[in-house]
Amino acid sequence: MNMPPEVPPLIVPHRMITYQLTRWDLFANWFTIFLRNRILQVFLIAIMILNAGLILGPGLRTRPVSHTVFEWVIYLIGLVGVLIVFQGMLVFANAFFLKQRGLVGQHVLEITEQGLVERTEFNETLHKWSSICRILSIWGYLFIYVSDNNSHQVPKRGFSSQEISEFEKDLRAHAQRTGS
């Protein structure tokens, strides 16, 4: 009896992207953290309401309602403005005054069967699929959360829309296959 020819194992090509992360990317990442982190959003809203109540609450019964509403609006605009200015100064200093070795520069992300591999000049890290907990595609970036508070930030500007969408599609398929 003739044995059928041996079938070679199926070689699945790994999808890989290479991108540059700049200090302006870090600035954008840290400046938008309030918009991506749900815990910070809840905390910020709670602090704003508590602070507004402490500042505007006394004398609430002695003012007309229209005056109180106007004060609340002015207060909230002022508080948000102050938060944006202080956040901007902190983020600018963090992005541009620290060395950020291993963060600023060329990154390679590779989708493998074992997980997502990230390579830079300084490290090589394997994130198993079970560690990927969130994938966001917003503001010209692809954020790949490898833990609740740690993410890879991929700027989309260096890729065609088809290239980055195929990478994201493969990434989501691998992450969903493991129940991430």
Tens-digit pLDDT profile for residues 70-81: 888 888 888 889
CA–CA dist 180, 167 (Å, integer)? 17
105-125: pLDDT as tens digits = 999 999 998 999 999 999 999
SS3 state of residue 58: coil
**For the chain, what are the domain ranges?**
15-22+100-177, 24-97
Higher pLDDT, 3 or 34: 34
> In this structure, how many other beta carbons lie within 10 angstroms of the beta carbon of residue 159?
17
Q: Answer whether 0.85 is exceeded by the pTM.
A: no
Which residue carries 């609740």 as its tokens? 148
Complete edge-to-edge strand list for the sheet that includes strand 141-145: 134-138, 141-145, 151-155
Helices (DSSP H) in the chain: which residue ranges? Answer: 23-31, 33-36, 38-56, 65-97, 161-177
CATH class of 15-22+100-177: mainly beta
Q: What are the CB-based long-range contacts (under 8 Å, 24+) for 155-161?
A: 155/19, 155/20, 155/21, 155/22, 155/25, 158/19, 158/20, 159/17, 159/19
